[in-house]
Amino acid sequence: MFFHLLAWLALLAGSAPVASFTDGLGWPLAALHLVTLGVLAMTAIGASLQLLPVATRQPVRSHRAPALIWWLYAPGVGLVALGMGLAQPRWLALGAAAVTVALVAFALLLARNLWHARGMPGVVAHGWTALLALVALLATALLLVATWNGAPLVARGTLLPLHVAFAAYGFMGMLALGLSYILVPMFALAPAPDERRQRASFVCAAAALALVVPASFGLAPRLFLAGAVGAGALAVALHLQLMARALATGMRRELGRSFKLVRFAWGALVASLGVALALALEAPIDHLGVWFGLVLIGGWLLTFLLGILQRILPFLASMHAGPGVRPPTPASLTFDRPLAVHFVCHLAALALLALALALENALLVRVAAAAGAIGAAAFALFYVVLLLRMHRAARAVPAPPRT
C-alpha cells in the first residue's frame, strides 16, 4: 500500500520528464519501479506463497523465510527508488543487490514448493516459467545497474527489451495468468478451468517469451517480435476464453467493482499486445515505448492486481482472524467507501496519463498523479480498516473451537 502511494507521488515529482519523455534515471523511472517492485512483485511474493500451496498441495516449508525476505526486500526497493529518483547509481546498486538477494531467496522457496507439486499441472507450469523469467529479469536488471554505474557489459538496447518482457509478461504475467486459474473460479464458485486449454495457453505464452530472446540480440527482430506477439495473442485468447467460461458458469455471478477492474485489466492486456506489435514493426507513432509501459504496467498488471486484492483481502483477513474464533464475514471486514473512491481515481489517473502523453502536457501528468495518489490513499485506508476490524474480531468472544 505504501509503495503504491509513493509511486504516484514519485510520478508527481517527475511530471515534467514524463511529459517530455526524457529517458534515464529520474522520478518517472523510480515511479515505474515503485509499482513493479514495490507493488506488483511484493504482492506476487505474498500471493504465490499463499496460493501456490493450494495448487501444489505442498505447504511452504519455512515460516521465517518470508519474513526475512520482506526485511531485505522492502528497504532494497526503497533504496532502488531513491537511487533512481535522485540519480544516485551507487544507491541504486546497493538497493538492487538487496532486492536480488531477497528475490533469489523467494525463488528458492517457490522452487522447493513447485518441485514437490502434486496437482494442477497448468498452474505449476506457469509457476516454473515465472521462476525462470525471474532469473532472467534479475540478470538483466543487474547488468542494467552495472551500465548505470559505468560498467556497460551488455548493450542497453539488448537488455531493455529482455528486461521488460521477462519482468512484465514473464515473471508477473505468468504468475497472474497461472494464479488466475485458481482465483477466478474461486471467486465465481466455478469449476476448475479445462486443464488442456490451460496448458495450451501456457505453451503459447512460453513460446512468446522465448521468441523475444533472439530478437533482443538483433536476430531478425521484426520477424521474431511479431512472432512473439502472435504467440502471446493466442495465449491470451485461450486464457480469456477460460476466464469468460468460469465467470459464465460460476454459482456467483455478481462480482462487483473488483471485477470491473479485472475486466478492464484484461482489455489492457489485449491492448498491450497491439502496442507491442506496433513497437515490433517500428510503427511511426510518437512515444510508443511510454504508451507500452502505461498500458502494460498501469492498465493491465496494476489494475488487475488491485481488482483481485480488494476481493481477496477480506477473505484472507477472515481466514487469519485467529484459531478457535468464529470467523468474521468478509463483508463485515470491508470498508467499501474508500474502494469506490479508489475505483474512480485509479481509472481517472490512467485516462489522464494517456491524455497527458498524447498532448505532452506536464500539468496533466501532475493531475493524473494526484488522482492516482488519492486512489492509492483510499485503498490504503480500506486495508488499514480491514486490519483493525480483523484484530477486533480476533479479540471478540470466541466461538466453540474446531476440535
Partner 1 sequence: MRRGNGLPIVRAAAQARRWRDSDGEHIDVRGLPPPEPLVEILQLVGSIADGSIADCSAVIVHHDREPVLLYPELAQIGWQAERLAGEPDEVRLRLERCA
Q: Pick between residue 30 and residue 243 the one whose CB is nearest to partner 1.
A: 243
Q: How far is the CB of 323 from partner 1 (least distance, A)?
A: 11
Q: Pick between residue 293 and residue 314 the one whose CB is nearest to partner 1.
A: 314
SS (H, E, C) the chain: CHHHHHHHHHHHHCHHHHHHCCCCCCHHHHHHHHHHHHHHHHHHHHHHHHHHHHHHCCCCCCCHHHHHHHHHHHHHHHHHHHHHHCCCHHHHHHHHHHHHHHHHHHHHHHHHHHHCCCCCHHHHHHHHHHHHHHHHHHHHHHHHHHHHCCCCCCCHHHHHHHHHHHHHHHHHHHHHHHHHHHHHHHHHCCCCCCHHHHHHHHHHHHHHHHHHHHHHCCCCHHHHHHHHHHHHHHHHHHHHHHHHHHHHHCCCCCCHHHHHHHHHHHHHHHHHHHHHHHHHCCCCCCCHHHHHHHHHHHHHHHHHHHHHHHHHHHHHHHHCCCCCCCCCCHHHHCCHHHHHHHHHHHHHHHHHHHHHHHHCCHHHHHHHHHHHHHHHHHHHHHHHHHHHHHHHHHCCCCCCCCC
In whole angstroms, give the CA distance from residue 309 to residue 190: 19
Among 217, 270, 264, 212, which residue's Cα sits nearest to residue 239?
Answer: 270
Give me the residue label for grid cell 488519492. 374
Q: How far is the CB of 124 from partner 1 (least distance, A)?
A: 11
Q: How far is the CB of 258 from partner 1 (least distance, A)?
A: 15
Q: How far is the CB of 380 from partner 1 (least distance, A)?
A: 22
Q: Pick between residue 27 and residue 187 the one whose CB is nearest to partner 1.
A: 187
Q: Pick between residue 319 and residue 359 the one whose CB is nearest to partner 1.
A: 319
Q: How far is the CB of 29 from partner 1 (least distance, A)?
A: 38
CA atoms within 13 A on the CB side of 245: 13
Q: How far is the CB of 55 from partner 1 (least distance, A)?
A: 7
Q: How far is the CB of 123 from partner 1 (least distance, A)?
A: 9
Q: How far is the CB of 332 from partner 1 (least distance, A)?
A: 9
The residues of the shown chain that bind partner 1, judged by CB under 8 A, are 54-55, 57, 118-120, 182, 185-186, 189-192, 195, 251, 314-315, 318-319, 326-331, 399-400, 402-403
Q: How far is the CB of 198 from partner 1 (least distance, A)?
A: 11
